[in-house]
Amino acid sequence: MTSSTTPLHYLSLAEAAAALAAGRVSSAELTDAVIARAEAVEPRLRALLSADPASARAQAQASDARRAGGGSLGPLDGIPIGLKDVIAVRDQPLTAGSRMLEKFISPYDATVTRRLREAGAVLYGRHNCDEFAMGSSTENSAFHPTGNPWALDRVPGGSSGGSAAALAAGEALATLGSDTGGSIRQPAALCGVVGLKPTYGRVSRFGLVAYASSLDQIGPFGRTVEDVALVLQAIAGHDERDSTSVGAAAEDFAAALSAPSVPRRLGLPREYFGEGLDPEVAVAVERAVTHYRELGCEVREVSLPHTPYCLDTYYVLATAEASSNLARYDGIRYGHRCAAPRDLHDLYFRSRAEGFGAEVKRRIILGTYVLSSGYYDAYYLRAQKVRTLVRQDFLRAFEQVDALLTPTSPIPAFRRGEKANPLAMYLCDIYTIGANLAGLPAMSVPCGFTRAGLPVGFQLIGKPLGESELLAIGHAYDRVHQWGRRRPNL
Amino acid sequence: MNRTELDLDALARLARLALTPEEKATFARQLAELLGHIERLSQVDVSNVEPSAHAHPQHNVWQEDEPRPGLLPAEALRNAPAQRDQMIAVPKVVE
Amino acid sequence: MSTPAAPQPASYEAVIGLEVHVQIRTRSKVFTRVAAGYGHEPNTLTDPVVLALPGALPVMNRAALDAIIKAGLLLGCEIAPVCKWDRKNYFYPDSPKNYQISQYDAPVCRGGSVEIELPGPARNLMGEHKRIPLTRIHLEEDVGKLSHGATDSLVDYNRAGTPLMEIVSEPALQSGEEAYAYLTSLRATMIQGGISDCDMEKGQLRCDANISLRPIGSTTLGTKVELKNLNSISFVRDGIEHEIRRQRSILERGGRITQETRDYDGMTGTSQSLRSKEEAHDYRYFPDPDLMPVVIDAAWQERLRAECPELLFDRQRRFLADYQLPFTQTSVLVWDRPLADYFEAVVRLGAAPQAAGNWIINDLRRELAAAGLDPAASRVSPANLVALLRLVDSGAVLNAAAKEVFVEMFATGDSPDAIADRQGLRAAPTDSGELENWCRDAIAGNAKAAAEFRSGKDGAINALKGPVMKAAKGKANPKAVDETLRRLLATG
């Protein structure tokens, strides 16, 4: 792919940064291209919940002025980047895909937002998602579903479906999502882009609407592994406003990509290739494995014996935390308040009943149940112990291998409405949940398409704080295949 | 773990959610199925296993006691559904 | 076997446990850095964390932890090597997150006790001392403040997020008087430790009491009633006594106590049941995933121990033993740490403890009260007070004049020597001839007193001093007057 044949809105971030640096393009032009593209595709795709073109253009002009003055802030300066609508941007809406926050305007910036601003990025677009990030298809958005750019009647995955779809459709050059059980990686796989969930604590959660605090992590979507590294560079790092932020030393993630490639040891967890895996997905992932073998990597089978319990562990811990995290949405200080409440009791019950959708209510009730008197030990405490075992499985595997390679999603993009049963939907996340429970960095890299033209991705899971190595391994495949540069016929 | 004990009314009260009879019926069915799945956790031998609250435990994460500016009242009340005298208004609370 | 009818117990004893909330005095809030404070315009001390806006996260304030550890050290608690934060889930408009960050099963402090002194038989006699054992002390966040209008309630979140300690006593108090003594002692300890100002009017110290009665001799606890809204230490005492009387009269009529929460109105001296909540609480405590545990090592404890002042009753025992002060003086000094510190500074410079105590308790406190100042703000340096005491002791400045000197010292901070010179307040230099004449005149003019003295009534000499002083216009050195009179009476 060369930039001369690529529309501005489909440039990779690295290409756009080079073009900006060389003066071949301005941020205003890039931003205009992205806005025009969004206006063209949004009626069909519906990946955006809100957008502020005037603000984006002003940011672009400021970037161009900076650059003209010789004060570029780096590779992200002037690049249009969109955010999942769970990340706070001052004076912009923050809905989390919920009626509850339909009219909420954030009075503050998330830490990642501040860091993107400091890197000069042009913030454009707030992306659709499953309500409060609960879902795997973006169908749980209170406002509207989002189409998959490769097949509009199919889902883009979720919960960060809007952010994956918007990137795949050319509505931004990179986007940020959040991932609690796979919410970046699964939509990345279903939309054919790269998506990284960093190590828990690598990126500050301050300003991220909380779903499950001990699992949530913000991460980037990009068209290439390199792009993802560039965005991670800007947003990662210790934040004193997030007690769970890790104080790791600064790393140069982009430089790690160009480090001399060393053959790595890759592990295939046998529990991730069993029943329920779509044969076409299996074939595409197998081809990626073959590529790594050809690069000289040692590939061996490993076992993560507690994998069968990951989903259950996740649904206990995540719903418990969510039931408490979402208690603040009560219609008192902000958010939806029911009309003419009779009394305080009525205000609480009706505001929350009207403000939350079915999936959110279901998880709040499940979470309330597992924490309630008499059940805490059997569910929550036990799940925390199983979580320890899951993490131990991974750490043991990393004694033998440098990274694990698995399918990202057992199936490619499914049709809207196809998974009406909650449990069936939850099973979409079986390969991604483990990395959240263990707090590990994990990335979905596109690796081809099904015969029907639906993207497929594989997942790389790395050691704690092993983003540099993970990105290097992913890049070794991605720089050759560049599946994420393919453009849907939209 | 006995899923028959799931008392939806009590849980909805704790969670401050008004549920319609239809929602109750649907949720009862779906949650029973989910809890059936989750009950598999009881098969795991967790004796002598420490619970993990976090994947990467740290300790003594704090800030020094030096005030920083907060929100202006107008910002603090910007999203308030009802306010009076620079305060959030709610239906009269009877203790 | 037939069950004999339970004998009507002759009398009942009260079992009382107190839950005391003490706001910790920090500059910023406990989980975020917006300023903490009292008396500000509504909703001016908020930020995204205080208001629980979407995405906000808590981070601990280290000073709040220092304060609770210090409180634990002062009260002899066991300090947990590791503690953690839990969420207490319940909905209320003053609680922005609808959960309170608190400590459930791993509080910072366990055990310990509060030493109390009950009223003595007289003001100048020490009362009985007791130690009231503590169950625990934990740290949590305060909630906002509700005020009630005619048709709505209004919420101000300025107070929300203020660090708050909950100090829970064992059910080991027996009367309102003991509760009064407990709170008085606890409050002074917290103030002297620099932990809290404990101003009850500002809600910096709040107390709930759990009260039950049981037949004397019984070891099981009776049904307890929780008394709330006790907003002064006197109301705590009165409310408890009222509740004990109420329960006793019910039991003596053969009635049963209902477990409930009652509101005591200190103005009218009556209580009423608060409408019992429809549902039982299920707080669903679980570890707060947004916060990390706290590890408290020995070095941290030792650093804080070094900052802890001597406990006031320990100090009182030392003042009684080492300085031989009268009980009444010690009981003024030790409750006022800056005053007691000042006293000790004066004594360290060589002043006689009792004389120093008198000057501080009478003169210094009077001037401080009139000026509305704290002892720390006094312009009378310990060295200057010692200098004044020496002037009085040597007779260079007479007592009455010394009082004037002191007032001037307090006003200007000048040395007593400079003031005495400036204002002509030194005792007249003793001209022994003149003094002897005055003394002879006094003896001659008061033959009866002179005769009494000579017959062994030592106090009769005082009747002779008056005329001498009068003749000297008050400027004679009383020591010299005394010596001269005795010499003349012995020889003449």
- Distance of residue A348 Cα from the nearest chain C Cα, in angstroms: 9
**Average pLDDT over every residue of B79-84:** 97
Q: In CATH, what number is assigned to the domain containing residue A148?
A: 3.90.1300.10
Return residues 225-254 of A near B (CB < 8 Å): 240, 243-244, 246-247
N residues, chain B: 95
In a domain, C337, yes or no: yes
Probe site for chain B from A369, A376, A380, A393 (most B CB atoms < 10 A): A369
C152 in contact with B at a CB cutoff of 8 Å? yes
A183 is catalytic: yes
Can you tell me which residue has the tokens 């050691």?
Answer: A463
Does the annotation count A72 as an active-site position?
no
Q: Based on the fold, state whether residues C207 and C151 are members of the same structural domain.
A: yes
What confidence score (pLDDT) does residue C429 get?
62
Tell me the CA distances in angstroms from A195 to A89, A174, A188, one per residue in order.
21, 10, 5
How many Å lie between the alpha carbon of C16 and the closest alpha carbon of chain B?
24
**Tens-level pLDDT at each residue, chain C (492 residues):** 444 455 455 689 999 999 999 999 999 999 999 999 999 999 999 999 999 999 999 999 999 999 999 999 999 999 999 999 999 999 999 999 999 999 999 999 999 999 999 999 998 899 999 999 999 999 999 999 999 999 999 999 999 999 999 999 999 999 999 999 999 999 999 999 999 999 999 999 999 999 999 999 899 999 999 998 888 999 999 999 999 999 999 999 999 999 999 999 988 999 999 865 545 689 999 999 999 999 999 999 999 999 999 999 999 999 999 999 999 999 999 999 999 999 999 999 999 999 999 999 999 999 999 999 988 888 999 999 999 999 998 888 888 889 999 999 999 999 999 998 888 888 766 667 788 888 888 898 888 988 899 888 888 898 888 888 888 877 777 788 888 888 888 876
Interface test with A, best of B41, B42, B83, B86 (most A CBs within 10 A): B41
In a domain, C121, yes or no: yes
Q: Looking at chain B from residue 12 to 51, which residues have their Cβ under 8 Å from any Cβ of chain C?
A: 13-14, 16
How many interchain CB pairs under 8 A, A with B?
A: 174
Q: Is residue A227 part of a domain?
A: yes
pLDDT at residue A3, as a whole number: 47
- Residue C264: phi, psi to the nearest 5? -100, 130
Q: Are B77 and A413 in contact (CB under 8 A)?
A: no
pLDDT of A1 reads 43
Does the annotation count A84 as an active-site position?
A: yes
With respect to residue C332, please indicate whether it lies within any of the assigned structural domains. yes
A391 part of a folded domain? no
CB contact under 8 Å between C286 and A376, yes or no, is: yes
Q: Which of A210, A240, A371 sits opposite C55 (nearest CB)?
A: A210
Whether residues C183 and C225 fall in one domain = yes
Picking from A478, A488, A482, A485, the residue whose alpha carbon sits closest to that of residue A453 is A488
Q: Which residues pair with A179 in a beta bridge?
A: A217
Q: Active site residue: A26, A84, A178, A197, which one?
A: A84
Q: In whole angstroms, what is the distance from residue A160 CA to residue A127 CA?
A: 8
Give B80→chain C minimum CA distance, Å: 11
Q: What are phi and psi of A475, to 5 degrees?
A: -65, -35
Q: Helix, strand or coil for residue C15?
A: strand
pLDDT band at B6 (very low <50, low <70, confident <90, very high): confident
Which pairing describes strands C163-169 and C129-141: parallel, antiparallel, or unpaired?
Answer: antiparallel
Contacts of residue C354, defined as CB under 8 A and 6 or more positions apart, other chains included, come to C323, C324, C325, C326, C329
Q: In angstroms, rounded to a whole number, what is the distance separating the alpha carbons of residues C84 and C107?
A: 7
Task: Render the burial of C313-347: b for 16+ CB within 10 Å, e for the rest.
Answer: bebbeebbeebebebebbbbbbbbbebbbbbbbbb
- Choose among C56, C98, C289: nearest Cβ to A214: C289
Size of interface B-C (CB pairs under 8 A): 127
Decide if C279 touches B, using CB distance below 8 A.
yes
Of C296, C310, C313, nearest to C68 by C-alpha is C296
Give the whole-angstrom CA distance, residue A470 versus residue A460. Answer: 7
What pLDDT sits at residue B1? Answer: 43
Position A21 in a domain: yes
Residues A17/A8, Cβ–Cβ less than 8 Å:
no
C436: CATH: 1.10.10.410
Tell me if chain C has a CB within 8 Å of the CB of B86.
Answer: yes
Question: Which of C44, C152, C155 is nearest residue B92 as measured by Cβ atoms?
Answer: C152
Domain edge (last residue) among C371, C402, C422: C422
Choice among A159, A160, A204, A444 that is catalytic: A159
Chain C residues with CB-CB distance to B61 below 8 A: 59-60, 291-292
Residues of A in contact with B94 (CB under 8 A): 343
Q: Tell me the chain C residues in contact with residue B93 when contact means C-beta distances shorter than 8 Å.
A: 93, 146, 148, 153
Nearest by CB: B17 against A246, A311, A352: A352
Q: Note whether C59 contacts A242, CB cutoff 8 Å.
A: yes
Considering only the beta carbons, identify the residue of A104, A331, A365 that sits closest to B12: A365
The answer to whether position C310 is within a domain reads no
> Per 3-state DSSP, what percentage of chain B is helix, strand, and coil (rounded to 5)?
40, 10, 50
Count of all residues that appear for chain A in the document:
490
**Are C363 and C442 in the same domain?**
no
Walking along chain A (490 residues) 10 residues at a time, the average pLDDT comes out as: 76 98 98 98 98 98 97 97 98 98 98 98 98 98 98 98 98 98 98 98 98 98 98 97 89 86 88 94 97 95 97 97 98 98 97 98 97 94 98 97 97 96 90 98 98 98 96 96 96
Q: Which chain A positions have a beta carbon within 8 Å of C97's beta carbon? A: 327-328
Q: Is A334 on the interface with B (CB under 8 A)?
A: yes
pLDDT given at position C465: 87
What's the number of domains chain A is made of?
A: 1
Residue A438 lies in a domain: yes
A300 interfaces chain B, CB cutoff of 8 Å:
no
Model pLDDT, residue A449:
98
**Smallest CA–CA distance from A347 into chain C, residue:** C93
Q: Is residue C240 included in any domain, yes or no?
A: yes
What is the total count of domains within chain C?
Answer: 3
Residues C190 and C105 occupy one common structural domain = yes
Chain B contact partners (≥3 CB pairs within 8 A): A, C
Task: Supply the pLDDT for residue B95.
Answer: 61
Domain membership flag for residue A411: yes
CB nearest B18 (choices: A353, A358, A439): A353
User: Is A334 inside any structural domain?
Assistant: no
Residue C120 shares a structural domain with residue C191: yes
* C314 assigned to some structural domain: no
With CB atoms and an 8 Å threshold, state whether A372 touches C282. Answer: yes
Question: Across the interface, which of B17, B35, B44 has its CB nearest the CB of A309?
Answer: B44
Contact state of B52 with A387 under an 8 Å Cβ cutoff: yes
- Find the CB nearest B91 among A247, A315, A341: A341
Q: Is C209 exposed, middle or buried (0-12, 13-18, 19+ CB in 10 A)?
A: buried
Q: Is some CB atom of chain B closer than 8 A to the CB atom of C201? A: no
Rounded Cα distance, C409 and C415, in Å: 7
**B4 has a pLDDT exceeding 60:** no
Q: What is the pLDDT of residue C431?
A: 67
Q: Are strands C260-265 and C225-230 parallel, antiparallel or unpaired?
A: parallel
Query: Which strand (E) or helix (H) includes residue B37?
Result: helix B21-38
Its ipTM equals 0.97
Measured CA to CA in angstroms, residue A353 lies from A345, A350, A439 at distances of 12, 5, 33
Cβ–Cβ gap A371/C284 under 8 Å: yes
Asked if C274 and C337 sit in the same domain, the reply is no
A349 touches C: beta carbon within 8 Å: no
**Which chains lie within 8 Å of chain C at 3 or more CB pairs, if any?**
A, B
- Collect all residues of chain B within an 8 Å Cβ-Cβ radius of residue C152: 82, 84, 89-92
Note down the domain range covering A455. Answer: 8-267+399-485
Residue A446 counted as domain residue: yes
DSSP annotation string for C164-222: EEEEEE-S-B-SHHHHHHHHHHHHHHHHHTTS----GGGTSEEEEEEEEEEETT--S--
Q: Which domain holds residue C477?
A: 432-491
Which pLDDT score is estimated for C278? 47
Same domain, C353 and C462: no
CB contact under 8 A, A328 and C96: yes
> Is C26 among the domain residues?
yes
Helices of type H across A124-278: 161-168, 185-191, 225-235, 253-258
Are C54 and A333 within 8 A, CB to CB?
A: no
Residues of A in contact with B34 (CB under 8 A): 315, 366, 422-423, 426
Q: Do residues C245 and C382 both lie within one domain?
A: no
In terms of Cβ atoms closer than 10 Å to its own Cβ (0-12, 13-18, 19+), residue C450 is: buried
Does C389 share its domain with C268?
A: no
C313 belongs to a structural domain: no
Q: Are residues C153 and C283 in the same domain?
A: yes
Q: What is the pLDDT of residues B26-59, one digit of tens each?
A: 999 999 999 999 999 999 999 999 999 888 889 9
> C440 with C415, same domain?
no
* In a domain? residue A368: no
Together in a domain, C377 and C456: no
